[in-house]
């Protein structure tokens, strides 16, 4: 059966080397209207409703992708990417990746605790390296915190002109917001049965909102050690010099 995938040649080679075959490029998406939440002008606070909405929208896109992959009989999805595009008042959230199936028929061992395909944002090359290293991906975990940064009053602004000093209220607020996004990602990964997360990225964006509102997103792939004793673990790394232009 023909397959479609966005894997490059070396990724394809290594995914097959790891004992998997690509099935199809799978996608999930959702259009969401992000409304507005009132935030007190001079307060540093999380905008909880918008945070929840952003989490929910990405989760929906990922769930649809996973449902599609499960329908195809996939055991996992590699190279998953999350994207968002604004068009007018609506925002489209998409998840896209390549569904793969275990060739040796023991695919059930690779699925998550609900029997659904695993997900990860690893390239085919990284997926192979992880598996050879004795670990397998469980799920792409993410955490979100949308934060409103206080506007300063004119008095506060005047008092700091010319001064070189830390602004503890701002430091604390944004520091905490990032930590919150990471904590939520961590909780999601722990719920999915992962024992750790690799490749965490903490991104921030304003998505065209008012400049005082910032979204922090933490994304990473939850992993677990492969329990199977017959699993072949990689050889010791060697120092190599690449002959490359």
Asked if 236 interacts with another protein (CB under 8 A), we say yes
- Both ends of the chain: CA-CA distance in Å? 38
- Among residues 80, 116, 180, 217, which is the contact residue for another protein, using CB under 8 A? 180
- Does 237 bind another protein (CB under 8 A)? Our answer is yes
Stretch that binds another protein, among 20-28, 30-38, 82-90, 122-130 (CB under 8 A): 122-130
Choose, by CB under 8 A, the member of 164, 208, 229, 230 that binds another protein.
164
Q: Residues binding another protein: what is the number (CB under 8 A)?
A: 58
Element (H, E) at 13: helix 9-17
Binding status of residue 208 toward another protein by CB under 8 A: no
Q: What is the dihedral of CA 164, 168, 172, 175, to 10 degrees?
A: 10
Q: Does the footprint of another protein cover residue 166 (CB under 8 A)?
A: yes
- 217 scored as a contact of another protein (CB under 8 A): no
CA 46 vs. chain centroid, Å, equals 21
Phi, psi of 146 (to 5 degrees): -100, 125
> Does 201 sit near another protein (CB under 8 A)?
yes
User: Pairing mode, if any, of strands 90-102 and 213-225?
Assistant: unpaired
CB of 161 within 8 A of CB of 240?
A: no
- 187 forms part of the interface with another protein (CB under 8 A): yes
Asked if residue 239 binds another protein (CB under 8 A), the reply is yes
Interface residue with another protein, options 31, 133, 158, 205 (CB under 8 A): 133
CB of 218 to another protein, least distance (A): 8
Choose which of 6, 27, 179, 209 interacts with another protein (CB under 8 A).
179
Stretch that binds another protein, among 47-55, 59-67, 84-92, 144-152 (CB under 8 A): 144-152
Answer for which of 6, 63, 129, 209 binds another protein (CB under 8 A) is: 129
Query: How many residues are listed for the chain in this entry?
Result: 245
Cβ neighbors of 181 (< 8 A, separation 6 or more) are 143, 144, 145, 202, 216, 217, 218
- In this structure, what is the dihedral angle of CA atoms 69, 122, 81, 96, given to the nearest 10 degrees? -20
The phi, psi pair for 20, rounded to 5°, reads -120, 160
d(CA 24, CA 68): 10
User: What's phi and psi for 43, nearest 5 deg?
Assistant: -120, 140
Which residue from 2, 154, 165, 229 is in contact with another protein, where contact means CB under 8 A? Answer: 165
**Residues within the interface to another protein (CB under 8 A):** 10, 122, 126-127, 129-130, 133, 149, 151-152, 160-167, 170-172, 174-176, 178-180, 182-183, 185-187, 189-190, 194-202, 206, 211-212, 214, 220, 234, 236-244
């Amino acid at each position: 059966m023909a397959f479609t995938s966005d894997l490059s040649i070396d990724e394809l080679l290594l995914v097959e080397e790891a004992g998997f075959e690509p099935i199809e490029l799978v996608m999930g998406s959702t259009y969401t209207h992000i409304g507005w939440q009132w935030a007190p002008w001079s307060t540093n606070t999380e905008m909880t409703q918008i945070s929840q909405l952003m989490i929910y929208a990405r989760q929906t896109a990922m769930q649809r992708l996973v449902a599609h992959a499960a329908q195809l009989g996939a055991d996992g999805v590699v190279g998953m990417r999350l994207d968002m595009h604004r068009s007018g008042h609506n925002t489209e959230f998409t998840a896209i990746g390549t569904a793969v199936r275990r060739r040796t028929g023991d695919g059930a061992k690779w699925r998550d605790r609900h029997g659904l395909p695993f997900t990860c944002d690893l390239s085919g090359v990284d997926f192979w390296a992880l598996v050879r290293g004795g670990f397998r991906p469980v799920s792409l975990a993410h955490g979100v915190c949308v934060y409103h940064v206080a506007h300063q009053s004119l008095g506060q602004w005047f008092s700091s002109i010319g001064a070189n000093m830390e602004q503890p209220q701002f430091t604390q607020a944004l520091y905490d917001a990032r930590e919150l996004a990471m904590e939520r990602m961590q909780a999601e990964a722990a719920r999915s049965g992962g024992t750790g997360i690799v490749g965490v990225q903490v991104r921030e964006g304003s998505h065209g909102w008012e400049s005082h509102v910032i979204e922090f997103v933490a994304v990473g792939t939850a992993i677990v050690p492969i329990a199977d004793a017959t699993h072949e673990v990689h050889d010791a790394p060697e120092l190599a010099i690449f002959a490359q232009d």
